[in-house]
Amino acid sequence: MMKIKALMVGFIGANCYIIEFDDKSIALIDPGDEGEKILKEFDGGKLKWILLTHGHADHIMAVNMLKEKFDPKIIASINEKEIIENPELNLSRQFGISYSVKADLYIQEGIIKLDNHDITILETPGHTPGSVIYIIGNYMFTGDTLFKDSIGRMDLPGGDKDSMKKTLRRLSEIEADYIVLPGHGPSTSLKREQKNNPYFISFL
């Protein structure tokens, strides 16, 4: 069992997800900014992990503050290492801030365990080279790969249309109907997006 809270953080309005497992351990997905706002939602749980779907500034800007305060393990794709560590590539410098993050664990596709909790990782390049989707139970945390009725931009550093096409093709073949929790905007479901998202239709 787990509880999931969604917070919109930062001036771009990115979604940060707080996952509290039944043992009161907490995983954060994409703490993009406003660390103090995020802290108010912990309800006494222990922050143990920060999972990054990708490395753009609007998804990482509270990481270092939370790392300093709680020392959680920071997890990101090995293919995103250069982006999260480089202010030019993660776009923070464009906003007048030179910000970088270093992960404690650089991961690839597969299953990892956070204590006794299984996390499935799908590599989904297109928005960035190291974009990943995390699947936890019946929930799919898609970052800026997949939104309700849309997908992530491909005109930013590391974006690639051909890679996005392959990613969407792969997502279109998943039979399970996950609840999709994206990096921006409202939640949706994978089956709904497979049927109605115009990019699934035009890209495939």
- 45 pLDDT more than 90: no
CA-to-CA dists, residue 68 to 25, 43, 63, 102, 120, angstroms: 18, 19, 9, 12, 27
Q: pTM (2 decimals)? A: 0.96
Residue 44's Cβ-count burial label (10 Å; 0-12, 13-18, 19+) is exposed
Confidence of residue 100 (pLDDT cuts 50, 70, 90): very high
State the chain's maximal CA–CA distance in angstroms.
46
DSSP β-bridge partners for residue 180: 140, 188
Over residues 161-176, the mean pLDDT reads 96
What single-letter DSSP state applies at residue 62? Answer: T
Over residues 93-114, the mean pLDDT reads 94
What domains appear along the chain, each with residue ranges and CATH number? 2-203 (3.60.15.10)
- 11 pLDDT more than 90: no
**What pLDDT is recorded for position 158?**
87
Over residues 139-160, the mean pLDDT reads 96
Q: Which of 87, 94, 68 is nearest to 11 (CA)?
A: 94
